[in-house]
Amino acid sequence: MRVTITFLLVALLAALAMAVAPQSPVIVSYPEDTPNSVIQEAMEAIKKAGGVITHEYSLIKGFAAKASAKMIETVQAMGSEHQVLIEQDQVVNANSA
């Protein structure tokens, strides 16, 4: 009986781990005239969906995050009125070698 319960718990945890959507690193930026409340709302939505805010920028209105593709689409829709720009966060080199 114990083996069966343990097996079921392990199987359940494995299924839950596989159900978690993969997250991509992104940079989300807004025009200078965007209200801070719009940015805060987007960050809260990402956090509630299980994403992570990795950096809040001070030179530009925006932030870096890790979020699922579905959440990225949601943030894009939320910010469409304010012309939100969402880019894949990646390393850029000036030297092509």
Give residue-wise pLDDT tens across range 15-61.
Answer: 665 556 688 999 999 999 999 999 999 999 999 988 999 999 999 99
* pLDDT tens-place string over residues 1-27: 566 777 777 777 666 655 566 889 999
pTM comes to: 0.73
| Residue 66 CB partners (closer than 8 Å, separation 6+) | 23, 24, 25, 26, 51, 52, 54
Residue 65 lies in a domain: yes
* Domain count of the fold of the chain: 1
Residue 16 lies in a domain: no
CB 43 within 8 A of CB 51: no
Give the pLDDT of residue 3.
64
Read off the CATH number of the domain in which 30 is found.
3.30.70.80
The domain of 37 spans: 21-88
Residue 62 lies in a domain: yes
Residue 70 lies in a domain: yes
Residue 4 lies in a domain: no
Residue 1 lies in a domain: no
What is the overall mean pLDDT for the chain?
86
| DSSP-assigned states of every residue in 19-86 | HSPPEEEEEEEE-TTS-HHHHHHHHHHHHHTT-EEEEE-SSSEEEEEEEEHHHHHHHHHHTGGGT-EE
